Amino acid sequence: MVNATIAALEAAGATVIDGTRIPIEPAYGPEFEALLCEFKTDIAAYLDAYTEAGYPKTLQDLIDFNNDNPELESGAPESDWNSLIFELAQATGGRSDPACTAARAAATPVAQAAIDDTLAADDLDAIIAPTNGPAWVTDPVNGDLGGDFSTFVGSSGPTAIAGYAAITVPAGYVGPLPLASRSSVAAGTSQR
């Protein structure tokens, strides 16, 4: 799919520089911290707005439900799946916590600079990447991709952390499963 996308872009007159890498890793730590506290607040708002009385309304309610119903939520007894990410988020102060604001403020500019610097280094107009590999069946015992992430492609992180727009378009198929590519540019620019 990537080779076909590159060929189509070149046939349309684009100059493609293959193998460009965005040095995004320094943003991952503060981004994860920000996501945890944002999730705590946002999941409660979602549950309050879209679930009926008697259903979980907070992240702690979801953790309690998972703990009370392991056969429904974890693939137990075969799996050791747990609510660790939920518990990490619950331990935060949510969006109103200054630590959350600080984490977001630390992650976003790092990601923006990583994209901006990558574009500037090779005078690029856009960054094109596979959105992900083909869809997979989630295994309740072993997790997504059966725990083997060697075929996983994730290109949304840099633009999502930076707050930059990304456009996803169909790019092909692997058997009956669709694949897509993602195009992103720096803030304040337009695609040609």
Output the pLDDT for position 20: 83
Output the pLDDT for position 179: 78
Output the pLDDT for position 73: 64
**Mean pLDDT of successive 10-residue stretches along the chain, which has 192 residues:** 82 86 92 96 97 96 88 65 89 97 96 92 85 73 69 78 87 80 67 48
Output the pLDDT for position 92: 97
Output the pLDDT for position 170: 83
Output the pLDDT for position 183: 77
Output the pLDDT for position 189: 60
Output the pLDDT for position 162: 92
Output the pLDDT for position 167: 86
Report CA-CA distances (Å) from 140 to 69, 72, 90, 106, 152: 14, 10, 23, 35, 18
| Alpha carbons 75 and 113: distance in angstroms, whole number | 42
87 neighbors 63 (Cβ within 8 angstroms)? yes
